[in-house]
Structure 1
């Protein structure tokens, strides 16, 4: 087997595969040279031939939101592993699942522990240091908890780096303090003065935040005291959001709002430049996002499981109704491919259309116009799939920028 050395980008010619093009599937050859796709049905011209007969060649996937990397950082409560080890393992998992571009949903929270600003800063620094060694394009989605004012300097610093991150507005603080009589999906606009707040001294609230306290490495009592103090910041949160949105617009980064429940919520963030609605929790919000021309993201695990784990709309139904543009890995990297496979088997749409949910559409939403499709001049991000009739697909080869990121078969290379 040929061993690809650092910096080597051999010309390759894929022959015999069914190729997923932007508008159809067709059997054709695909040639890559360096980091680009240079043509379809072109002469070999000295390229190494990969016999892909019986396989499917697709654009490698683009993951707009994934936090499964947290399981490498902290596989058990309060058990942390070295960051370089965790991020290198995450990179291998991405490549092995056919994902060549991944935005890691890095939570910047007032919580201590896994999702703290201090931990996030370490991740930002370590990702930059590891960049030359990573197999795929690892990027950051700065998943900002809007009550976490301490994160603002880190966000402003990260917005000036290359590659540019995405910025997501996230409010799990209000969600945590929501009165239990109001379903999560029906909660009012987060800044509504009449927002129904729970009794933080109740046993029910203590039980609700047990997992959060454990993730943060503090006792439940300490967590209750902390979130009660943080809630006092609520009057200043809208101004903080405005400041971060201005910074995001100035940097030209894609911006998202997370878990929208009300039309007012979506409108509030759209007006500030967040044109991506990530995991809207009500069908009416998704419809409003569609009417406004926003991108709509749902979780691929939702499709695979057949339902949302927190009772939000079915992603499968949203795809069928034209209310979902993008499927994200969310918390399980294999779910993106598995979701497409399930919907293909169910006859929801043809494969060339379904594949856009995990490649072309997220690339466009993120402003990455060089990838997400197989076409001359596009970045050579490709995944070669073993996909037997009636069986589960498996990535055999992943290219990221023309470089071999994963090889489950030698293919004579």
Structure 2
């Protein structure tokens, strides 16, 4: 289409102020120049939205999709560059205009979630980002019981390869997994871990708890010094939210209890919910 100017009509438009039904949008030189209820008089090309929703481009702050794109099945890996370009097409087709690819630093746990692999993927994402259709960023997820992740994360942070940093703790007994059984059921089923492998992972997490605070303090101070935004994962109590507030962490992502949600709101902390779970009507915490 040589003439890039066009009008989208008969759309249900989502605006900051509310939803506008039967609306039209005029695009000129790739910029929205007019939004109004009803029709817009114009000789430009017209697209009938047939009352479908028309929304701004989505910003996905936490997507693990790149992990599945690289490793669609256990121990079956695609080259990172191929995975990135293919996923980029899917994201654009879904209306996502900014993506924060979430890479986890959790040595010896699941799939590509090991420190060296995650680090190399992040470097490749940064190298290829200018060639992708979707604005592409990196969300580094730090499993706080993994002391071996610190050197990798420090190097990536100092090189400005990370655009969002989050703390996560999947140790059974809190957060997402209140019981050991729920942890084993999830990781054993989804990631095909044996009982022996699960016991090793849980044992490592529990033994690392004593030195967690020093690791957290170090990476949080580093992020603050470089003005990198921080989030916390699977918050489950008001106490934890108050701790986030003291630490200067401003995002609570996927809180698993309403107590945590309310506390975050009351303390000016942003809440990020999992859209797929909300859409399916499923709460993350299983009791």
Normalised TM-score (structure 2): 0.82
Q: Structure 2 matches for 1:23-102, cutoff 5 A?
A: 23-24=17-18, 25=20, 27-33=23-29, 37=31, 39-40=33-34, 49-54=44-49, 56-102=53-99
Relative to structure 1, is the Cα distance of residues 120 and 294 closer, same or farther in structure 2, using a 3 angstrom cutoff? same
Q: Which runs of 5+ in 2 are unaligned?
A: 36-42
Structure 2 Cα separation of the partners of residues 168 and 32 of structure 1: 39
Structure 2 Cα separation of the partners of residues 295 and 143 of structure 1: 18
Q: Offset at 1:152?
A: 2.0
Give the counterpart of 2:260 among 285, 310, 313.
Answer: 285
Match of 2:188 in 1: 210
Structure 1 Cα separation of the partners of residues 233 and 59 of structure 2: 19
Match of 2:14 in 1: 20
Match of 2:269 in 1: 294
Deviating more after overlay: 303-312 vs 124-133: 303-312
More strand by proportion, 1 or 2? 2
Contact (CA 8 Å) 2:80, 2:124: kept in 1 or not?
A: yes
Q: Offset at 1:303?
A: 2.1
Give the counterpart of 1:104 among 96, 101, 105.
Answer: 101
Match of 2:40 in 1: none
Q: For residues 197-235 of structure 1, what are the alpha-carbon distances to aligned partners after superposition, in whole Å with 9 as ceiling and x for unaligned?
A: 96xxxx9987775358746xxx64355345424532221
Equivalent position SS for 2:87: helix
Q: Offset at 1:131?
A: 1.5
Equivalent position SS for 1:40: strand
Equivalent position SS for 2:241: helix
Aligned length: 276
Give the counterpart of 1:306 among 268, 274, 281.
Answer: 281
Match of 2:38 in 1: none
Equivalent position SS for 2:255: coil
Normalised TM-score (structure 1): 0.59
Q: Offset at 1:156?
A: 2.5
Structure 1 Cα separation of the partners of residues 28 and 162 of structure 2: 26
Structure 2 Cα separation of the partners of residues 61 and 253 of structure 1: 21
Structure 2 Cα separation of the partners of residues 234 and 110 of structure 1: 15
Deviating more after overlay: 228-237 vs 10-19: 10-19
Q: For residues 16-45 of structure 1, what are the alpha-carbon distances to aligned partners after superposition, in whole Å with 9 as ceiling and x for unaligned?
A: 3544332142734443546xx36337xxxx
Report 1 or 2 for greater relative contact order, CA contacts < 8 Å, sequence distance ≥ 6: 1
Equivalent position SS for 1:307: coil
Give the counterpart of 1:169 among 167, 170, 189.
Answer: 167
Q: Which runs of 5+ in 1 are unaligned?
A: 3-9, 42-47, 188-196, 313-413
Equivalent position SS for 2:273: strand
Once superposed, what is the RMSD of the aligned Cα atoms?
3.3
Q: Structure 2 matches for 1:185-264, cutoff 5 A?
A: 187=178, 210-211=188-189, 214=192, 220-222=195-197, 224-225=199-200, 227-264=202-239
Q: Offset at 1:50?
A: 4.4
